[in-house]
């Protein structure tokens, strides 16, 4: 988590103050009309205000007590303002984040090259004037002026402004580390960068737009829910509007009482329509996007965030996600007639110059098991042989000894070329190690085979439990690895994934995704290399690593700034949370209506049918206090639920049936009971004022 993102998790004072100001700005009818539910409240507020004013001036004798009408009107306005406030606060948090991001971007000078080479000379231009395919030179301590692709040079880059990660990263042309982000700083050396985005389309721009909510269109599910809420509003509009003639008919035929007043009908309408979810809906959406950004994932659209909740197959790269990045030496298996110590000694010597994590782990293991200290070879006659794709071995020539370690077949060729004999026992050892899911490295000293080093993938702590949780949620995990089937199967079993793809190539990955999709699954994956791009483009939710290539980033629909493949699981969680929060608050909102009926119906018809007081279960003090209490409760509940809307309802690692039962209990039953208590309390307070 970056320093810039911290501090906005809570509702800070400036955000609340700004939120209050914005609540009033959002009273603009053009803003209100975008939310049909709240627009009805808005119109109701206007109507009751006019009605109240007319009543106060004695122009509307049947409207009811002017004070009462105006009081209802005031609370209706507050209902609108509270809903505005919820949205404004959600936006405010996003804006605060965007401002923090924007502050990292200062107007910088760019060294625009004439050709594609650093030697061709450059001119200084404003960074904002750079277009796609311009080529710039970035030297030590320069800020990279725009998103781009390194076409020449190697440099260490400080990307903390974007990722919050303080360790500098290496960027070089070609390969999977060629993409750079505007606003980051080169610490040493130089880069030639081809700009890949026009002004305003850069990564940072997308990120700012997304968190600000400026580019936030309604997501598909949000649209569906809005439609349902609009229809509910229409049903309740019907139910309340028709009450006017019904009530007049009742008065005419029973000959007592007066017809229900317009203000009571408006109050009833506003209480019944789903204002709670209607008022919080956009805040929930903005907050969901915000949570994604907080976990340092930038989605290209809200649609992608929502789709993340639907994912039921996760394609996870073995390396870095399921296992610790690198294989580690786990054991020495000496050949017949060789002691383990001798093998360890040779292995350590062969690995002294091997700076790979695997090589270092061999040195460490030899030290741990046999107290062999890493030796300084300075002053000896030695020559290191680095690992290469051709030889597939590495080692050292030291004072006449030719020490080698490497893949079994490569070492065998080496030994046989040296005139040695390959022991059958070693083949067996190699196979045993491989069958166990580990990688065998054979060590030889000239023509003598010394034995086998077992390199093991270390499965990350806690990942197995995570997969169990995912399985309970109905999400299938698939491990993708370049290893052979044997190795892959063993690690898959150890990590507890549901399935694995061994010897994965871009083609097999793509085929696997298509197969799952054909079976009706939604597939998520993450990737970084250019060769991942086709699979990323095919997957339903594709998270590209920020360290990855431009091609990968463009193919994906999310970018993980931390470049942490485990993030996929968090992404799914945020998506689910978004939907759960909407569903929970909708249920709560509708369940609330039951209590409101019990408050308002007896009150509304008290004059005509006093018998209906049997429904006054809460024993509310008077018809006016009952109606006002319901309206006040309806307004206040929005504010009370703002933190929940912003935080999101907690999702749990349980099956859908369990989750539903739990949420129904909390939000359905809770929604039924809470308003009874709330309305009664408000009524008691109102009665205590003595005014009503």
Nearer Cβ to other proteins, position 202 or 574? 574
Is residue 234 part of the contact set for other proteins (CB under 8 A)?
A: yes
| Residue among 152, 176, 290, 317 flagged as catalytic | 317
Alpha-helical runs (H) found in 295-423: 302-310, 340-351, 357-370, 408-417
Q: What angle do CA 523, 526, 531 make, to 5 degrees?
A: 105
Is residue 576 part of the contact set for other proteins (CB under 8 A)?
A: yes
Binding region for other proteins (CB under 8 A) out of 83-91, 293-301, 395-403, 594-602: 594-602
Q: Minimum CB separation from other proteins for residue 656, in Å?
A: 4
Is residue 473 part of the contact set for other proteins (CB under 8 A)?
A: yes
Is residue 386 part of the contact set for other proteins (CB under 8 A)?
A: no
Among 254, 339, 484, 505, binds other proteins (CB under 8 A): 254
Nearer Cβ to other proteins, position 413 or 471? 471
Is residue 253 part of the contact set for other proteins (CB under 8 A)?
A: yes
Among 14, 245, 337, 643, binds other proteins (CB under 8 A): 245
Is residue 243 part of the contact set for other proteins (CB under 8 A)?
A: yes
The residues in 648-677 that bind other proteins, with binding defined as CB under 8 A, are 651, 655-657, 659-661, 663-664, 667-668
Contact yes or no for 322/480 (Cβ under 8 A): no
Torsion over CA: 519, 524, 525, 531 (sign): positive
Is residue 240 part of the contact set for other proteins (CB under 8 A)?
A: yes
Binding region for other proteins (CB under 8 A) out of 145-153, 483-491, 562-570, 609-617: 609-617
Q: Minimum CB separation from other proteins for residue 498, in Å?
A: 11
Write the DSSP symbol of residue 477.
E
CA gap 493, 490 in Å, rounded: 5
Is residue 521 part of the contact set for other proteins (CB under 8 A)?
A: yes
Among 61, 462, 520, 690, binds other proteins (CB under 8 A): 520
- Per-residue b or e along 511-527, where b marks 16 or more CB atoms closer than 10 Å to that residue's CB: ebbeebeeeebbbbbbb
Nearer Cβ to other proteins, position 301 or 341? 301
Contact yes or no for 75/86 (Cβ under 8 A): no
| Beta-sheet pairing, 179-180 with 297-299 | unpaired
The residues in 60-89 that bind other proteins, with binding defined as CB under 8 A, are none
CA gap 281, 538 in Å, rounded: 31
Binding region for other proteins (CB under 8 A) out of 29-37, 148-156, 215-223, 443-451: 215-223
Among 214, 611, 617, 640, binds other proteins (CB under 8 A): 611
638-643 contacts: CB < 8 A, separation 24 or more?
A: 638/79, 638/82, 638/83, 638/86, 638/275, 638/276, 638/279, 638/280, 639/82, 639/85, 639/86, 641/276, 641/280, 641/585, 641/588, 642/85, 642/86, 642/89, 642/280, 642/283, 643/11
C-alpha distances in Å from residue 390, one per residue of 56, 140, 385, 434, 505:
95, 36, 12, 22, 20
How many residues bind other proteins (CB under 8 A)? The answer is 74
147 in active site = no
Among 4, 197, 247, 275, binds other proteins (CB under 8 A): 247
Is residue 312 part of the contact set for other proteins (CB under 8 A)?
A: yes
Q: Rounded to 10 degrees, what is the CA torsion of 89, 91, 93, 99?
A: -140
Is residue 238 part of the contact set for other proteins (CB under 8 A)?
A: yes
Is residue 380 part of the contact set for other proteins (CB under 8 A)?
A: no
The residues annotated as belonging to the active site are 317
């Amino acid at each position: 988590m970056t320093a810039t993102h911290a501090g906005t998790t809570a509702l800070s004072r400036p955000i609340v103050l700004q939120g209050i100001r914005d609540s009033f700005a959002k009273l603009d009818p053009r803003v209100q009309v975008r939310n049909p539910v709240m627009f009805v409240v808005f119109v109701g507020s206007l109507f009751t205000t006019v009605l109240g004013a007319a009543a106060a001036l004695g122009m509307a004798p049947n409207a009811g007590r002017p004070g009462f009408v105006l009081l209802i009107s005031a609370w209706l306005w507050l209902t609108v303002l509270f809903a505005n406030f919820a949205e404004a606060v959600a936006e405010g948090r996003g804006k605060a984040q965007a401002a923090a991001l924007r502050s990292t971007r200062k107007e910088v000078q760019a060294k625009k090259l004439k050709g594609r080479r650093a030697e061709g000379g450059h001119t200084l231009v404003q960074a904002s004037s750079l277009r796609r395919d311009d080529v710039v030179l970035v030297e030590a301590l320069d800020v990279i002026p725009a998103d781009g692709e390194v076409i020449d040079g190697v440099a260490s880059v400080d990307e903390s402004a974007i990722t919050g990660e303080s360790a500098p990263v290496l960027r070089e042309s070609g390969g999977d580390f060629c993409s750079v982000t505007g606003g980051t700083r080169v610490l040493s050396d130089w880069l030639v960068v081809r700009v890949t985005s026009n002004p305003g389309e850069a990564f940072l721009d997308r990120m700012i737009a997304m968190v600000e909510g400026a580019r936030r269109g309604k997501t598909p599910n949000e649209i569906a829910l809005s439609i349902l809420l609009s229809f509910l509003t229409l049903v309740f509009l019907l139910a309340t509007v028709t009450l006017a003639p019904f009530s007049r008919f009742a008065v005419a035929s029973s000959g007592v009482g007066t017809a229900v007043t317009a203000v009571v009908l408006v109050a009833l309408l506003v209480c019944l329509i789903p204002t709670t979810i209607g008022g919080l809906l956009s805040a929930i959406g903005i907050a969901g996007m915000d949570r994604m950004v907080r976990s340092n994932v930038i989605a290209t659209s809200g649609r992608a965030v929502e789709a993340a909740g639907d994912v039921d197959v996760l394609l996870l790269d073995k390396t870095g996600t399921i296992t610790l990045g690198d294989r580690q030496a786990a054991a020495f298996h000496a050949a017949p007639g060789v002691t383990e110590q001798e093998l360890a000694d040779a292995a350590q010597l062969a690995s002294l110059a091997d700076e790979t994590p695997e090589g270092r782990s061999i040195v460490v293991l030899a030290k741990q098991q046999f107290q062999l200290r890493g030796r300084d070879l300075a002053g000896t006659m030695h020559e290191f042989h680095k690992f290469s794709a051709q030889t597939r071995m590495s080692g050292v020539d030291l004072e006449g000894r030719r020490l080698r370690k490497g893949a079994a077949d490569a070492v065998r060729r080496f030994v046989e070329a040296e005139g040695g004999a390959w022991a059958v026992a070693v083949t067996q050892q190699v196979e045993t190690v491989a069958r166990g899911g580990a990688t065998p490295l054979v060590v030889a000293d000239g023509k003598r085979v010394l034995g086998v080093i077992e390199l093991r993938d270390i499965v990350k702590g806690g990942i197995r439990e995570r997969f169990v949780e995912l399985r309970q949620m109905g999400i299938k995990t698939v491990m993708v690895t370049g290893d052979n089937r044997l190795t892959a199967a063993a690690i898959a079993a150890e990590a507890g994934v549901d399935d694995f793809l061994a010897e994965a190539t871009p083609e097999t990955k793509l085929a696997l995704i298509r197969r799952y999709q054909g079976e009706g699954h939604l597939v998520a994956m993450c990737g970084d290399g250019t060769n991942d791009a086709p699979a990323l483009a095919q997957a339903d939710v594709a998270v590209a690593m920020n360290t990855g290539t431009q091609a990968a980033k463009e193919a994906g629909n999310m970018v993980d700034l931390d470049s942490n493949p485990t993030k996929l699981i968090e992404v799914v969680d945020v998506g689910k949370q978004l939907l759960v929060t909407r569903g929970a608050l909708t249920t709560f909102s509708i369940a609330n209506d039951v209590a409101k009926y019990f408050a308002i119906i007896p009150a509304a018809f008290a004059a005509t049918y006093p018998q209906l007081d049997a429904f006054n279960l809460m024993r509310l003090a008077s018809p006016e206090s009952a109606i006002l209490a319901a309206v006040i409760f309806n307004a206040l509940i929005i504010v009370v639920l703002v933190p929940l809307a912003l935080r999101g309802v907690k999702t749990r690692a349980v099956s859908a049936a369990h989750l539903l039962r739990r949420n129904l209990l909390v939000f359905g039953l809770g929604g039924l009971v809470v308003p009874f208590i709330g309305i009664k309390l408000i009524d008691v307070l109102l009665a205590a004022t003595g005014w009503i």
